[in-house]
Amino acid sequence: MLWTYGLYAMILNHNLSFMANSASGMHVNDECKIKFLELKAKRTYRFIVFKIDEKAQQVQIEKLGNPEETYDDFTSSIPDDECRYAVYDFDFTTEDNCQKSKIFFIAWSPDTSRVRSKMLYASSKDRFKREMEGIQVELQATDPSEMSLDIIKGRLNL
């Protein structure tokens, strides 16, 4: 009886530990944080596309967009059928003719991606955003129309 209880407690503890790790999300690679700071502070990049590496159990950089790249370059760098996180530094001019920029976070989760991948990205999103301090606008997109340039401008009331 005692042995059964001990085994039950061990299994319960393992399951709770697994759930806690799952809830906290994937580890964010230090390079991701450094490159994001460079995008934010130095404007070294126009965008960054991030990918979860399931084997390494962490979020890693997939692509860095140069400052001269366009929004079309950005959207074409995101795969059609796989989930990704991305940040985009969007420049715009206000009605008062002031030059501004906002950093957009896009959680790309297309309908055609694997269910496991969607769950992994969804469960890691909050941790990723916490570690990327300075995100100003968030978009969740499941098809390209949900992250079109018109949608981006609409979020800024342009």
Residue 154: pLDDT above 80? yes
**Residues 151, 139 contacting (CB under 8 angstroms):** yes
Provide the residue ranges of all domains of the chain, joining segments of one domain with +: 27-155
pLDDT at position 6, please? 47
Four-way CATH pick for 27-155: 3.30.360.10, 3.40.20.10, 3.30.565.10, 3.40.47.10: 3.40.20.10
pLDDT at position 7, please? 41
pLDDT at position 13, please? 45
pLDDT in tens, 9-40: 444 444 433 444 444 689 999 999 999 999 99
Q: From residue 99, how far is each of 70, 94, 95, 102, 122 by CA, in Å?
A: 17, 7, 10, 11, 34
CA 69, 72, 78, 79: dihedral to nearest 10 degrees? -140
pTM attached to this predicted model: 0.83
pLDDT in tens, 120-144: 999 999 999 999 999 999 999 999 9
